[in-house]
Chain A
Amino acid sequence: MSRRTRAWIEFLIERLLFLCAAASVLITVGIVGVLIFETIAFLRAVPIWDFVFGTVWTPLFYNPSFGVLPLVTGTLLVSGIAMAVALPCGLLTAIYLSEYAAPGVRRSLKPVLEVLAGVPTVVYGYFALLFVTPLLQRFIPGLASFNALSPGVVMGIMILPLVSSLSEDALHAVPNGLREGAYALGATRMQAALRVVVPAAFSGISAACILAVSRAIGETMIVAIAAGQQPRLTLNPLVPVETMTAYIVQVSLGDTPTGTIEYQTIFAVGMLLFLSTFVLNLFSNWLRERFREEYS
């Protein structure tokens, strides 16, 4: 092979590899394009004001109403419960693993914790509906068999490894000199952890928490199985609710023809979902970058 053909092949391969990398940008363009295209079609039929601030969501009824607020409150309610479980437990786990546990304990328990994150979400849905809900019903008499509480708690446990693993990384990145300084001043491990290490890792921990919120908002199968499919404007965790993701699943299970308003609603709801997770992810990334700058 002459030197010239070799150089030409090298050039060709380089271009090809670049195209593969650039293709990933096309995915984002595709997502945004599809969502915008169908959302605009939807907003032609339904004024944006009615969509964003309407309080009744009955798009599949004969006399439809397209107020997305019930889906938004449903999503916030379930995510809120999940965060009430995942954030404190995840953070405590991270502090324990990073500041207290012996290295051997840490090495052996971390992978087990990761297993929780690897279990498919449909399995958590089964667990929430057929194990956690009956269990909770023994203590809470008014609990419906579909409710926001049980999937929220289960989702919290599912997200816990994400919070603990990222927070632990952040705690681990805090220079040991800070801890040693605190110990030298007579601090206990608790005082060093809560007053020195956690504040020093604050932006890293916040990044983990925000990512957890974004994950909870986008989580689908647990709520589709265990929360029921009744959009209602409530913050009562004991009754059935519907989240944005569960609504998309509900419509997808039926046979909805292209171009109908029902078909467009899932893209409009998807747009709202995409925008909220996108903003949260950007914010989380920004915080993590800032944290990295502090300790690099």
Chain B
Amino acid sequence: MTVTRAAPTQPLRQVGDRALQSLGLLALLLALATLFALLADVFVDGWDRLSWGFLTGYPSRRAENAGILPALVGSVYVIGLTALIAVPLGIAAAVHLEEYARESRVSRIIEINIANLAGVPSIIYGLLGLGLFVRTMGMGRSVLAGAATLGLLVLPVVILSTREALRAVPKSLREGSYALGATKWQTTWHQVLPSAFPGILTGLILALSRAIGETAPLITIGALTYVPFVPDGVWSPFTVLPIQIFNWVSRPQAAFARNAAAGIIVLLLLLLAMNALAVFLRDRYQKRAA
């Protein structure tokens, strides 16, 4: 049809082409507008509430006196410990899969398993933490139980991103090292890992910035919502920033909603700082590689 009547249908085809282009742009702009509205809403609601007293204060029944110190310190504690658990385990697993593993049924099973774990909803990890760490291993609702749960949650992400960084290391580097008589581990430890380090670090920061925003698994293992003290060790009860925010959002009074908005600003700034660090490291790495 288009062949015999090419001329008259031409404008219509152009209209359709334009329409699809505009629709696509519209969808993209809708997403960006939502992001903008979200940020604007949060900053308008919470900016006035931000103060030194808010950052260093303890939760309170009176919204205007409440602060986020225990939640902030709790978040830092949990994320630090999460990194201690997930990072060595994740890097070691990635090194095995990328440098050592041969094609076999076992390594195939491990790979499929990791891909599947990455898709398990985070709240399921919370149930695992509740059943395994909190109850069976008797860790209680402690910082350690929370960090172990989040550690398992980010492990697949750490493994996947580390593998990607290792894959980017040129093969000639390994061959040069072998040619000088180095063993496999010497090559991995002295050549491959240092050269992949910035890439690995970027992936780690992104994985941990995912963990810092996680709420559901920590609620599931029973992290407290009202903690009037700063955690003093790995066995201490704790709360984290997102849970404190959730607690404030759930209250009907508008004053608490403003607290939640201020808490969200702190959380977003924390994430922004971590992501900026990741981008900075990646840029530095790319410059050196070029």
Contact = CB atoms under 8 A, between A and B. Distances in A.
A5 B30 CA distance: 63
B290 interface: no
Interface string B92-130: 110111001100001101101111110111111111101
A13 B100 CA distance: 10
B132 interface: yes
Interface stretch (A46-54, A61-69, A92-100, A230-238): A92-100
B15 to A, nearest CB: 9
A127 B38 contact: yes
Interface in A106-147: 109, 112-113, 115-116, 118-127, 129-131
Contacts of A30: 128, 132
A150 to B, nearest CB: 12
A194 interface: yes
Contact of A189 (B17, B32, B115, B222): B17
Nearest to B94: A21
Given A89-B27, A253-B219, A31 B120 contact: yes
Contacts of A14: 96, 100, 184-185
A60 interface: no
B160 to A, nearest CB: 11
B169 interface: no
Interface string B142-163: 0000000000100110010000
A18 B96 contact: yes
Count class of interface residues, chain B? 35 or more
Contacts of A277: 119-121, 124
Contacts of A186: 2, 6
B21 interface: yes
B126 A252 contact: yes
A248 B215 contact: no
Q: How would you classify the secondary structure of chain B's contact residues: helix, strand, loop or mixed?
A: helix
A88 B27 CA distance: 8
A126 B245 contact: yes
Contacts of A97: 24, 28
Contacts of A225: 246, 249-250
Contact of A10 (B2, B124, B185): B185
Interface string A265-293: 01100100110011001101100000000
Nearest to B189: A13
Contacts of B20: 92, 95, 100, 189-190, 193-194
B37 interface: yes
Interface string B193-210: 000000000000000011
B32 A112 contact: yes
Contacts of B119: 211, 214, 277-278, 281, 284
A21 B124 CA distance: 21
Nearest to B90: A20
A196 B23 CA distance: 19
A285 B2 CA distance: 39
Nearest to A277: B121
Given A118-B271, A188-B17, A96 B28 contact: yes
A267 B159 CA distance: 27
15 contacts: A10-B184, A13-B185, A24-B113, A89-B30, A120-B271, A122-B246, A123-B264, A123-B267, A126-B245, A126-B264, A186-B6, A190-B20, A215-B121, A218-B122, A277-B124
Interface of A: 6, 9-10, 13-14, 16-18, 20-25, 27-28, 30-31, 34-35, 37-38, 88-90, 92-93, 95-97, 100, 109, 112-113, 115-116, 118-127, 129-131, 157, 160-161, 186, 188-191, 193-194, 211, 214-215, 217-221, 224-225, 245, 248-249, 252-253, 255, 258, 266-267, 270, 273-274, 277-278, 281-282, 284-285
Given A10-B185, A30-B128, A113-B32, 7 more contacts: A28-B113, A96-B27, A118-B271, A161-B31, A191-B16, A252-B221, A274-B120
